Amino acid sequence: SQELEQSPQSLIVQEGKNLTINCTSSKTLYGLYWYKQKYGEGLIFLMMLQKGGEEKSHEKITAKLDEKKQQSSLHITASQPSHAGIYLCGAVPSYNQGGKLIFGQGTELSVKP
């Protein structure tokens, strides 16, 4: 079965610093999603990547999918306290499996003012 491994598991950064979270799959990804979860809340969809080499940005967050479609990174530039939360990568393990997503174990981000 396919697994997603995220690193690091937790991260504490000073406000204004850049950071990167990685998500590595044991098999080829057919779609890679990044979500953010705040305590007591649901998952907020950030970005979706499908093509090898694809890169997307939203405000200060950039996500990339490598050419082999087995690794994705999420980069936050000039972090702010509002970026704090748990970042989860999710993937469709293979095409047309009822849309189920498998998730990494999450990366907990704290941003110190």
Partner 1 sequence: DTAVSQTPKYLVTQMGNDKSIKCEQNLGHDTMYWYKQDSKKFLKIMFSYNNKELIINETVPNRFSPKSPDKAHLNLHINSLELGDSAVYFCASSQGGNSNQPQHFGDGTRLSIL
Site residues for partner 1 per CB under 8 A: 30-31, 33, 35, 37, 40-45, 48, 50, 86, 88, 90, 92, 95-103, 105-106, 108
| Inter-residue contact 98 to 105 (CB < 8 Å) | no
Nearer to partner 1, 4 or 19 (CB): 4
Backbone angles phi, psi at 19, to 5 degrees: -150, 160
Nearer to partner 1, 80 or 94 (CB): 94
Nearer to partner 1, 41 or 113 (CB): 41
Task: Count Cβ atoms within 10 A of the Cβ of residue 34 and give its class: 0-12 exposed, 13-18 middle, 19 or more buried.
Answer: buried
Neighbours of 109 (CB within 10 A): 21
Question: How near is the Cβ of 7 to partner 1 at its closest, in Å?
Answer: 15
